[in-house]
Amino acid sequence: MDMQNIETQFTEIKSQLAALDKKTVEDKLSMVVFSGDLDKIIAAFVIATGAVAMGMDAVMFFTFWGTPVLRDAKKRVGGKDTFGKMFGTMLPKGMGQVKLSKMNMGGMGTAMMKSLMKKKNVASLEQFLEMAEELGVRIFICEMTMDLMGFKREEMIDYNNLTFCGVAKFLEEAANSKIQLFI
């Protein structure tokens, strides 16, 4: 076999290895946060922050009812159409307005749960978000939901690792994640 031949084969193997590398599964958790309920969001953040503690990367993709949870209660935006205003008013604006999926009882259940969580030292949603940011949990927000519900980027939370994206970006992450969850 001559040098030329060996070189060609070497290049071939190298490109095959590179392709294989892209398919390697990483120590990563990719999560779809579809729900907008207090209990489910708390669970999502417990798992995401726990994953980072276990040495994994964590990505949370907020879509549909999960999206309004990431609105900043302090921010005001104008210029919305009728449906945008409707969604804006009817859906929780920020983490403080998120309710339990069960036993809400007109807000009483949620208030009780929050005070119980405080008593038992369980972090609040706001604290979980802060912790997630500090730990480097990446948050993706579904661009389609933003558009559908008439949310504007300017009304969303300030967060270090925030990306507005579509499903392909999430799937790229999920494809090489060891764990994928839908909450």
Judged by the rule CB under 8 A, the positions of this chain that interact with other proteins are: 46-47, 49-50, 52-55, 120-123, 131, 135
State the minimum distance, in angstroms, from the CB of residue 71 to other proteins.
25
**Cα separation of 59 and 108, whole Å?**
32
Nearer to other proteins, 85 or 118 (CB): 118
Nearer to other proteins, 54 or 108 (CB): 54
Nearer to other proteins, 131 or 148 (CB): 131
SS (H, E, C) 46-90: HHHHHHHHCCCEEEEEECHHHHHHHECCCCCCCCCCHHHHHHHHH
State the minimum distance, in angstroms, from the CB of residue 137 to other proteins.
11
H helix intervals, the chain: 3-23, 38-53, 82-90, 108-119, 125-135, 143-148, 167-175
Nearer to other proteins, 118 or 153 (CB): 118
State the minimum distance, in angstroms, from the CB of residue 61 to other proteins.
20
Degrees, nearest 5: CA angle 145-125-34 = 30
Is the alpha carbon torsion for 107, 64, 145, 155 positive or negative? positive
State the minimum distance, in angstroms, from the CB of residue 18 to other proteins.
28
State the minimum distance, in angstroms, from the CB of residue 55 to other proteins.
5
Degrees, nearest 5: CA angle 103-115-141 = 70
Nearer to other proteins, 32 or 42 (CB): 42
If you search the block for the tokens 């009304």, which residue do you land on? 155
